[in-house]
A and B are shown apart, each in its own frame.
Chain A
């Protein structure tokens, strides 16, 4: 009990916030990591901030883990997008919205959003625009129609 108190006392001295959460990271090869976020927001503000930012915490946790692996010299595998992911990205590159992609490809909008999410993750992209740019530079997309 005493050690726990000391631990949190020291944590406070180093600016660790009084509230927080930890996101587990599951890597491709079974590698694991924990990503912690702390804050000094009030209980009420923290509860709403948590809801708002949870999605970003998940993305950030995985991103930082990938970067750490890279710095440690673990080369990441070359990106391979599935045909469906490429198709969605190709139409985004042509200026179509997710809804338009869904109509063109005969998929639901939700499915298109899922394929784009997966493509963004595989390309380490922060947005669809970013993903198109990375895919284009990597020569994954066809030339403009």
Chain B
């Protein structure tokens, strides 16, 4: 299930945000070796204070964080415009109907103990669920396009799950990483294609409350 949380609600879910920032540190600094700033085991950058919308994939029963992505309006500060402008040297796209997604991550803890095939399957499934959530959240907000900066590894994942994107500009090697700008169509066609791949026919967005963080919390609630 995908939960949409505004950064203004950070105080309501401090543990969840903390878990997301720790997961981002583990993924982007630990596993991918990106040049991101990690403090106290948490990866937080200046765009986290630009009031983004976060989509979190949470396990319905245990409440465990399975993955997350961050959405920013392209009318305001965003990574493509302010960090990766070299990818679109003539100027980046900007409109209230275009959002930018960044920090797309799947929690390594959920596939660590599994064999390779099963781990790949899980990563793909959570990726598709997050993408379905992005299309649904965008459609609810009247958003028509999402742009994103990502690396060759992510481009491969998008292709393997048949998630169509169009390349804007030309890919550029930044450090060790080949970097792309992709444009995603937030249309019904996109949603049904993704739904068919991951078997997410009905809405993945949760309308209810966030599930409790752990089994013990669940017991405590019942008592």
Instruction: Give which listed residue, B77, B96, B143, contacts A62 with CB less than 8 A.
Output: B96
Contact of A28 with B by CB under 8 A? yes
- For residue B185, which residues in chain A have a CB less than 8 angstroms away from its CB? 110
Return the CB mask of A9-36 against B: 1 if under 8 Å, else 0. Answer: 0000000000000001111101010000
In residues 83-130 of chain A, which contact B (Cβ within 8 Å)? Answer: 83-85, 107-108, 110-111, 113-115, 117-118, 120-122
- For residue A28, which residues in chain B have a CB less than 8 angstroms away from its CB? 75-76
- A121 close to B96 (CB less than 8 A): yes
| B residues contacting the other copy or chain, number (CB 8 A) | 29
Known: A26-B51, A30-B76. A117 touches B98 (CB 8 A): yes
- A59 close to B96 (CB less than 8 A): yes
* Distance in Å: Cβ of B131 to nearest Cβ of chain A: 16
Return the CB mask of B58-102 against A: 1 if under 8 Å, else 0. Answer: 000000000000001101110000000000101111111110000
Q: Which residue of A lies closest to B75 (CB)?
A: A26
In residues 53-95 of chain A, which contact B (Cβ within 8 Å)? Answer: 53-59, 61-62, 80-85
- B142 close to A30 (CB less than 8 A): no
- A30 close to B50 (CB less than 8 A): yes
What is the bound-complex CA distance between A26 and B82, given in angstroms? 14
Known: A82-B88, A82-B90, A110-B166. A117 touches B144 (CB 8 A): yes
Contact of B145 with A by CB under 8 A? yes
What is the bound-complex CA distance between A32 and B94, given in angstroms? 16
- A110 close to B183 (CB less than 8 A): yes
- A26 close to B92 (CB less than 8 A): no
Known: A83-B90, A108-B166. A25 touches B77 (CB 8 A): no
* Distance in Å: Cβ of A122 to nearest Cβ of chain B: 6
What is the bound-complex CA distance between A26 and B81, given in angstroms? 14
Contact of B113 with A by CB under 8 A? no
Q: Which residue of A lies closest to B49 (CB)?
A: A30
- A114 close to B183 (CB less than 8 A): yes
Q: Which A residues fall within an 8 A CB radius of B?
A: 24-28, 30, 32, 51, 53-59, 61-62, 80-85, 107-108, 110-111, 113-115, 117-118, 120-122
20 contacts between A and B (CB under 8 A): A26-B75, A30-B50, A51-B140, A54-B141, A56-B142, A57-B142, A58-B141, A81-B91, A82-B88, A82-B92, A83-B90, A108-B166, A110-B166, A117-B95, A117-B98, A117-B145, A118-B94, A118-B98, A121-B75, A122-B94
In order of increasing CB-CB distance, the 9 nearest A-B pairs are: A26-B76, A54-B142, A55-B142, A82-B91, A82-B90, A121-B95, A26-B73, A118-B93, A62-B96
